[in-house]
Structure 1
Amino acid sequence: MTKHGKKYTAAAAKVDIDKVYSAREAVALAKETSFTKFDATIEVHMRTTLDSRQADQQLRDVVVLPHGLGKTVRVLVFAQGEGAAAARAAGADLVADDDETMKKIEGGALDFDVAIATPDAMGKVGRLGRVLGPRGLMPNPKAGTVVGAADMERAIKEAKAGRVEYRLDKTNNVHVSIGKASFGADKLFENYVALMDAVNKSRPSGAKGNFVKRITITSTMGPGIKTDPNEHIEGVE
């Protein structure tokens, strides 16, 4: 049995483990039970009925959270020529258009949160799969991170504003951040609504019934709070 510290125990005492809270209550309680000295992240964990091994049950898309994630997002762009120029003009933090930068990335020497690429750069990006893949940073058209020069400004602005990718993992779960504990409860709730609206709209063709069967909301290191995945919230069908 895991032994928890006094702060966790005090926070957990505020949560009724047998209760399924409304989404608004759960988000507010996750914020209230955050006890870390740093500004904790509020996380949404979904258990689904999907099977990640089936092609028609994949869940992967992006959502732009209305209030962002509360952190500075560093954007790296893989591009050449016109695409590289467009990336620099749009405010990319790093542009990988030379061999030296590519070698630094391969060695894990550069720090970034989102990677965007132009289609003509994907050949080189593919060789960095073992570095980018495990960190969830491989550019992907489905995630809106493979774009042409004309769409570069929009892609970078969305990434910095709080565009979040959500995807089904191998255990058929989805884990997504919706902001920081320092956010107001209303902002966190609005981010949650935007996320669930997007998840429901990207329902896989092979999904049956209510494919999200359990949702837990928590802060970093905080206690889990159960909420009803089938609750009708305004803006969520």
Structure 2
Amino acid sequence: MARISKNRKAVLAKYDASKEYSLLDAAGVVKEITFTKFDASVDIDVRLGVDPRKADQMVRGVVTLPHGTGKDVRVLVLCTPDKEEEAKAAGADYVGLDEYIQKIEKGWTDIDVIITMPAVMAKVGRLGRILGPRNLMPNPKAGTVTTDVAKAVREVKAGKIDFKVDKTGIIHTSIGKVSFGPEQIAANATEVLATLNRLKPSSAKGTYIKSITLSSTMSPGVVVDKNSI
């Protein structure tokens, strides 16, 4: 018989895996059952009643979390020289164009978000095979292809995130850190769910939000009662 670890015993004592919790209670449970020595991320997984294979049911959007993500987002701005100072002043970690395109072509992707301008997308476009699989490719719908790069940098640094339904119909995104209070985690989750409801495809039939789960980097999932939202 497999031996149950001390932490696993503590987890099992603190929550019922078969129970559905309110969003606020679920946030509190995730905090209680996370035993990492680092400040783990808190994630939300939402299973949607859509078929991502159909173009008119692809759910993608952006949301600004009221309490931010809790992590230092590394931002690269690929822009023309006249926009470089604006981007730097707004807090971009890396600013430039050709030199960074060359670095990326050689395999450098040590960044979280790339912001660029329509005027240079012809150059950036050839990086699609590298950036696409890493979800780093700038996209106008996500607000990362814009003429106002400074505003885009400030929004990303303040907690703006983008999300996209995966091929199994699930939205998965980080909404904070375990060090956040339950109210902060719940508020961030509520903003994501409200945005998802606004993005419901008209062609999606039946139940739209099928299930909601909160978890941390190394915790079990806590099921949220979607009727309590």
**Corresponding residue SS for 1:128:** helix
2:96 — aligned with what?
Answer: 96
* Cα distance, 1:123 vs structure 2: 1.1
CA distance in 1, matches of 2:67, 2:48: 26
Q: Deviations over 1:35-69 (max 9, x none)?
A: 11111111111111110001111110010001101
CA distance in 1, matches of 2:3, 2:182: 29
2:110 — aligned with what?
Answer: 111
The amino acid of 1:130's aligned partner reads R
CA distance in 2, matches of 1:108, 1:123: 19
CA distance in 2, matches of 1:213, 1:114: 30
CA distance in 2, matches of 1:165, 1:190: 17
1:41 — aligned with what?
Answer: 41
* Cα distance, 1:172 vs structure 2: 1.0
CA distance in 2, matches of 1:4, 1:121: 55
Corresponding residue pairs, total: 229
Indicate how the Cα distance of structure 1 residues 8 and 130 shifts in structure 2: closer, same or farther if over 3 A, else same.
Answer: farther
* Cα distance, 1:19 vs structure 2: 1.0
Identical counterparts, % of pairs: 49
- The alignment yields a C-alpha RMSD, in angstroms, of 1.9
Q: Mind listing any 5+ residue stretches in structure 1 that lack a counterpart? A: 233-237
| Normalised TM-score (structure 2) | 0.93
**Corresponding residue SS for 1:13:** helix
| Normalised TM-score (structure 1) | 0.90
1:22 — aligned with what?
Answer: 22
CA distance in 1, matches of 2:139, 2:228: 32
* Cα distance, 1:110 vs structure 2: 4.8
**Corresponding residue SS for 2:137:** coil
Would you say the 8 A contact 1:8–1:223 is kept in 2?
Answer: no
* Cα distance, 1:4 vs structure 2: 6.7
Residue in structure 2 matching 1:196, options 182, 189, 193: 193
Would you say the 8 A contact 2:26–2:214 is kept in 1?
Answer: yes
1:129 — aligned with what?
Answer: 128
CA distance in 2, matches of 1:4, 1:198: 40
CA distance in 1, matches of 2:159, 2:4: 33
Would you say the 8 A contact 1:83–1:118 is kept in 2?
Answer: no
Residue in structure 1 matching 2:220, options 220, 223, 228: 223
Say which is worse superposed, 138-147 or 199-208, in terms of deviation: 199-208
1:84 — aligned with what?
Answer: 84
Q: Deviations over 1:71-125 (max 9, x none)?
A: 1111101111333343233221112322x32111222335211111100111111
Indicate how the Cα distance of structure 1 residues 50 and 153 shifts in structure 2: closer, same or farther if over 3 A, else same.
Answer: same
Indicate how the Cα distance of structure 1 residues 85 and 223 shifts in structure 2: closer, same or farther if over 3 A, else same.
Answer: same
* Cα distance, 1:14 vs structure 2: 1.8
Say which is worse superposed, 78-87 or 55-64, in terms of deviation: 78-87
CA distance in 1, matches of 2:166, 2:218: 21
1:207 — aligned with what?
Answer: 204
The amino acid of 2:194's aligned partner reads D
**Corresponding residue SS for 2:226:** coil
Indicate how the Cα distance of structure 1 residues 201 and 102 shifts in structure 2: closer, same or farther if over 3 A, else same.
Answer: same
The amino acid of 1:180's aligned partner reads K
**Corresponding residue SS for 2:149:** helix
Q: Mind listing any 5+ residue stretches in structure 2 that lack a counterpart? A: none
1:11 — aligned with what?
Answer: 11
Indicate how the Cα distance of structure 1 residues 3 and 111 shifts in structure 2: closer, same or farther if over 3 A, else same.
Answer: farther
Indicate how the Cα distance of structure 1 residues 221 and 3 shifts in structure 2: closer, same or farther if over 3 A, else same.
Answer: farther
Would you say the 8 A contact 2:43–2:175 is kept in 1?
Answer: yes
